[in-house]
Amino acid sequence: MSGNTTYVAGFVQGAVGDTSPNTLGAFCESPGQPYDGLPCAADSSTCGDRAQKCHGRGPLFDKDLTGRSGELGGYGFASNREVGRRQVAGVREAMGFSDSDSASSDFGLQQGATAKTELKAKVKRQGGKGGMQPVHGPVRSAHAYVDMSGYEFALANATRVRTCPAAMGFSFAGGTTDGPGAFDFVQGDNKTEGEQCVLSFHVAFRIPRVPPA
């Protein structure tokens, strides 16, 4: 919080690759085409069978358009700010704080000592009554990289098998509505085309299979 260096708040996310700030959904940005402005194809995130013109829109998409002189797909500053404001508002609501006297502050936050006093009063009021309790002690974390390839184990029928190296399917090249891919790759594609095989041969390297010991 501005002016208060004694309070730390964390907005923790998991599996961020499967989340998006573009809460309005994905739409076709294809001027001159009949599907311009319509939602992208739900099963493939495409517009006219192509992924390049399918883009996600944030909560303030109309204001985002000014990011690059009005060009579609602006920098998204307005939506970025709005997503942050909603996160803070949700936390304040969960903690029972009021924004009525802080409308002029950034993201509705009270400044400096006022916010600190409000937090202390909230904890004191609800302490010992099943509400908020002060947290004491150090904060610790742990992180580890685990190679899951080549792991040998037994199936229920006693057959011994080994996991394969990680691989990405063709549809991975279709990208996402936050950043579309290229060529004719699309999301959800489970077909193997000749040209895709040729391309994958040039960008992938082969890993020799090690037989079980």
Closest by CA to 161, choosing from 209, 109, 106, is 209
What the block records as the tokens of 10 is 């964390």
Annotated catalytic residue within 2, 20, 45, 104: 20
Q: How many CB atoms lie within 10 A of CB 148?
A: 9
Which residues does residue 153 pair with via DSSP β-bridges, in sequence order?
A: 161
Cβ burial of 53 (10 Å; 0-12, 13-18, 19+) is buried
What the block records as the tokens of 100 is 């009525």
The residues, any chain, with a CB within 8 Å of residue 120's CB and separated by 6 or more, are: none
How far apart are alpha carbons 163 and 167 in whole angstroms?
11
Which residues does residue 149 pair with via DSSP β-bridges, in sequence order?
A: none
How far apart are alpha carbons 78 and 58 in whole angstroms?
8
How far apart are alpha carbons 71 and 139 in whole angstroms?
45
* Residue 2 a catalytic site member: no
Active site residues: 20
